Amino acid sequence: MNRTLVTRIGSMVALCAILTGGAGTAYALTTYSSYNTTVGKFNGNGYTGAQKKSTGSYQGTVKSSSVGGPYKVDAQMQRSDGSQGGSWVLIDDGTTAYLSNSIPAGTNARVRFSNALLTPVDVQVSGQFRVY
């Protein structure tokens, strides 16, 4: 093999390693955080803490450990200031849900939980979430 070809192949391998490592780093920035919050009765809300999105418009994930009693709640990814939200997903004990949204990268986001209009009690919810 000639020296120029070996140098080009080495450069391409190095570039692939850098690109692959960069993609892995982006996903490593978004780890699961725990939540444990109360969702108010009669269509009340509850919220997780915030995480900074590293990938714009990418769906978030919520893993529900428990939803108090026989109840279910709706979950939505939203900007932490409440100004922009994604689609709603109904969750129950043990549910893993993917929350679509159009929230841009670099924005703080959270999960909003909401009770049904006629739920007469506060509902405690707990689990883990990440916003990507």
Whole-number pLDDT of residue 116: 96
> What is the average pLDDT across 88-113?
96
Is residue 80 within 8 A of residue 131, CB to CB? The reply is: no
pLDDT above 90 covers a percentage of the chain that reads 74
More confident residue, 2 or 98: 98
CA–CA distance, 53 with 49 (Å, rounded to integer): 13
Which residues, in sequence order, are bridge partners of residue 90?
74
Contact 79, 109 (CB under 8 A): yes
User: Would you state the pLDDT for residue 2?
Assistant: 56
Confidence of residue 64 (pLDDT cuts 50, 70, 90): very high
Q: What is the pTM of this model?
A: 0.78
